[in-house]
C-alpha cells in the first residue's frame, strides 16, 4: 500500500522538552519522581515513564518529598505554590509556548483587562491559563458561548495553543465585531499550525487518513476532525493494533499524521503495518521484493554484505592478494558483533523497531546459536593465518562481547561502556577499522596506504552508526541509552556528521594531492557525494521513512567499496599502459 507521511507529525518541541526532562529526572533527580497530572496525553509514553519510575500524582498532599514535574500543559500558579509548600522539588515541564500564553494572561489581567480564552474549558492547559488570569478569565469554545459574554470594554483574546486555527479566527472576529477595541493574540503554536496545514494537504492527496495519537489528546482529535471536514474517511488510532486493516485494504493511497504527543515508534509501527498491508493496486513482485529486503536488514545479512564488500575492496586497494577466507572472517566477526548487541538490546529495539524486535525474539535461539557459531568460525579461520592473527581476533571478539553485555554486577541492561556518552558509534567505527585494517596488516604486512584507507573506513563506519542512531533517537532516550544523538541532540549531531563529511572530503583530496592515492582515486569523490545525499535525506523529517533511511545508511559501505573498486581498477589499467 502507498503510504504518505505528514511532513510535520509526532512530538512537538514542548512535549519533547517535557519528556526529556522526565527521563533525565528518572535517573538524576531526588526520588521518588512524579508528574502532577499526566505529563502528556499519550498512554504509551506514560507507561514507559512509569517503567522508569516516574509516576503520576493526581492530588497535592499536605506533606511530601522527592521531585515533581509540572506537565507540559502547565498548571495554575497556586498549584505550583502548593507543590513547593508540600515539600517537593518542582521541575517545570510547561511548554514554553503555553508559558507565553500564561504570561500574557497574567500581564493583561493585572492591567485590568478581561481575558478571553478560546479553547476547551475542560482542558488542562486552559485551566492553567485561567489561573494566571486571576479571576478575570472567560472561556469561549463555540459561537453559543458568545451569547453568555458580559459587555466587554478592555479585553484581550488569547487561544489555547492547540486550538483549530479557522475556528479561532472566526470566534475572534465575531468578538471584535460585537465589542470593538479589543486586543487579539494568535497564540496557536507553530507546531499546531503546521500539523493542521499538513492534514489538509494530505486530505487532498490521499484516499483516507490515519491519525495516530492519544484518545484524550485535544490536538490529535482536532486533526481527525479537520480530515473529516475535508471529506475523507478517518481512522483515529492510538497504536497499530487498532487499525481496521480490512477497511484500509480498499484504498490506493493512505495519509498518516499524528498528534503532538505521539511517540515516533508508535507512528513508525503504524506506517510499517500499513506498508505491509496487501493491496490490489501493488504488484506482487514489489511486495515480495520488499519482504526479502526487509529480511536481509532484520537478520543483519545486509550488514554482513556491506562489510564483506568493503573489506574486499580495501584488500584490493591496498595491493594485497585476494583472500576470500580473510574477507569471510572479517564479515563473520562484524555480523556476530552487531547481532549479539541487537539480541542483548531488545528493550530499546522494541520501541525503535517493534517488527525487528519481534523477528529477533521469535528466532532468538537460532540467532544466539548462529552468533556463537559465527564467532567460532571466524576464530577458526584466523588460526590458518597464524597465532598473532588469532589472538588479535580473539581480543576483538571479547571486546565486542564486553561492550554488549551488562557485566560487573550491573542491574540494568547496559554495559558500563554503553553508559559513556557517544561511545557506541565510536566503538563500532574502531571495530570496523580494526577488522578491515589491523587484521590484514597482521596477515600480510603494513603498507603506508593503509593509513588513508583506515581513515576512510573509520569515517564511513562512524557515520553509518550515527545515521542509524538518529533513527532510534527517541526510543534510546526513553531507555536511557547514551548514544551520540541522545547526548548531543539531533541538531548538534547533524553538525558532527557534517564535520565528518568535510573530513571525508579532505581525506580524499589530501590523498590525491600527497600522492598516497593515484589520480584514478578521484572516483572516491563519489563517496563524498553519496554521503552528502544521505545527509540531506536525513535532515528532512525522519518519521515514517525509517526503512528507506536505513537502506541509505547501510549503503555507505557498499558505495565506498564500489568506488574503491572503480578507483583501483582505473589505477591498474593506467599502470599497464
Q: Mind telling me the catalytic residues? A: 125
Strand partners, 462: none
- Do the Cβ atoms of 328 and 380 come closer than 8 Å? no
Question: In which element (H, E) is residue 255 found?
Answer: strand 253-258
* CB proximity list for 277: less than 8 A, separation 6 or greater: 1, 245, 248, 249
Q: Are 17 and 93 in contact (CB under 8 A)?
A: yes
SS (H, E, C) 178-243: HCCCCEECCCCCHHHHHHHHHHHHHHHHCCEEEEECCCCCHHHHHHHHHHHHCCCEEEEECCHHHC
- Quote the CA–CA distance of 326 and 314 in Å, as a whole number: 12
- For the chain, the residue count is 577
C-alpha cell at 80: 505550583
* Spatial distance between the Cα atoms of 507 and 179, rounded to a whole number of angstroms: 69
CA separation for the pair 540, 533 (Å, rounded): 11
Are 142 and 120 in contact, with CB atoms under 8 Å apart?
A: no
- Cβ-based neighbours of 536, under 8 Å, separated by 6 or more: none
Amino acid at each position: 500500500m502507498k503510504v504518505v507521511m505528514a511532513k510535520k507529525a509526532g512530538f512537538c518541541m514542548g512535549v519533547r522538552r517535557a519528556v526529556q526532562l522526565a527521563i533525565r529526572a528518572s535517573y538524576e533527580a531526588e526520588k521518588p519522581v512524579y508528574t502532577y497530572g499526566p505529563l502528556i496525553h499519550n498512554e504509551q509514553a506514560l507507561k514507559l515513564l512509569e517503567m522508569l519510575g516516574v509516576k503520576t500524582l493526581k492530588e497535592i498532599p499536605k506533606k511530601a518529598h522527592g521531585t515533581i514535574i509540572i506537565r507540559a500543559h502547565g498548571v495554575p500558579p497556586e498549584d505550583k505554590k502548593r507543590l513547593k509548600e508540600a515539600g517537593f522539588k518542582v521541575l517545570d515541564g510547561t511548554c514554553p509556548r503555553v508559558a507565553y500564553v500564561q504570561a500574557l494572561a497574567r500581564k493583561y489581567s493585572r492591567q485590568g483587562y478581561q481575558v478571553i480564552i478560546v479553547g476547551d474549558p475542560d482542558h488542562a492547559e486552559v485551566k492553567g491559563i485561567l489561573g494566571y488570569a486571576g479571576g478575570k478569565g472567560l472561556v469561549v469554545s463555540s459561537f453559543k458561548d458568545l451569547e453568555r459574554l458580559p459587555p466587554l470594554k478592555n479585553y484581550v483574546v488569547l487561544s489555547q495553543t492547540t486550538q483549530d486555527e479557522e475556528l479561532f479566527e472566526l470566534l475572534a472576529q465575531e468578538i471584535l465585531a460585537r465589542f470593538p477595541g479589543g486586543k487579539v493574540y494568535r497564540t496557536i503554536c507553530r507546531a499546531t499550525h503546521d500539523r493542521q496545514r499538513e492534514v489538509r494537504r494530505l486530505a487532498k492527496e490521499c484516499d483516507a487518513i490515519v491519525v495516530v495519537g492519544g484518545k484524550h489528546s485535544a490536538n490529535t482529535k482536532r486533526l481527525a476532525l479537520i480530515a473529516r471536514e475535508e471529506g475523507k474517511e478517518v481512522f483515529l488510532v492510538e497504536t497499530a493494533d487498532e487499525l481496521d486493516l480490512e477497511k484500509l485494504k480498499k484504498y490506493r493511497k493512505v495519509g498518516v499524521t499524528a498528534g503532538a504527543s505521539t511517540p515516533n515508534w508508535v507512528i513508525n509501527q503504524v506506517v510499517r503495518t500499513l506498508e505491509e498491508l496487501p493491496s490490489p493496486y501493488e504488484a506482487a513482485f514489489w511486495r515480495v521484493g520488499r519482504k526479502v529486503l526487509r529480511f536481509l536488514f532484520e537478520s543483519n545479512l545486509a550488514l554482513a554484505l556491506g562489510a564483506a564488500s568493503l573489506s574486499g575492496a580495501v584488500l584490493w586497494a591496498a595491493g594485497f592478494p585476494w583472500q576470500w577466507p580473510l574477507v569471510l572472517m572479517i564479515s563473520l566477526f562484524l555480523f556476530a558483533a552487531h547481532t549479539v548487541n541487537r539480541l542483548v538490546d531488545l528493550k530499546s529495539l522494541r520501541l525503535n523497531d517493534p517488527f525487528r524486535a519481534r523477528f529477533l525474539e521469535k528466532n532468538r535461539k537460532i540467532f544466539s546459536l548462529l552468533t556463537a557459531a559465527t564467532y567460532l568460525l571466524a576464530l577458526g579461520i584466523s588460526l590458518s593465518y597464524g597465532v598473532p592473527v588469532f589472538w588479535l581476533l580473539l581480543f576483538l571478539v571479547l571486546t565486542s562481547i564486553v561492550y554488549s553485555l551488562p557485566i560487573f554486577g550491573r542491574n540494568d541492561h547496559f554495559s558500563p561502556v554503553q553508559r559513556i556518552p557517544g561511545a557506541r558509534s565510536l566503538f563500532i567505527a574502531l571495530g570496523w577499522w580494526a577488522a578491515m585494517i589491523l587484521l590484514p596488516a597482521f596477515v600480510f604486512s603494513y603498507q603506508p596506504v593503509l593509513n588513508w584507507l583506515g581513515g576512510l573506513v573509520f569515517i564511513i563506519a562512524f557515520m553509518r552508526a550515527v545515521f542509524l542512531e538518529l533513527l532510534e533517537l527517541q526510543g534510546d532516550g526513553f531507555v536511557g541509552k547514551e548514544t551520540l544523538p541522545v547526548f548531543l541532540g539531533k541538531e548538534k549531531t547533524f553538525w558532527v556528521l557534517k564535520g565528518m563529511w568535510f573530513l571525508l572530503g579532505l581525506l580524499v583530496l589530501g590523498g590525491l594531492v600527497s600522492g598516497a592515492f593515484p589520480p584514478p582515486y578521484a572516483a572516491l569523490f563519489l563517496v563524498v557525494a553519496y554521503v552528502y545525499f544521505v545527509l540531506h535525506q536525513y535532515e528532512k523529517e525522519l518519521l515514517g521513512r525509517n526503512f528507506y533511511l536505513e537502506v541509505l545508511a547501510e549503503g555507505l559501505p557498499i558505495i565506498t567499496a564500489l568506488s574503491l573498486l572503480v578507483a583501483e581498477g582505473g589505477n591498474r589499467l593506467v599502470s599497464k599502459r
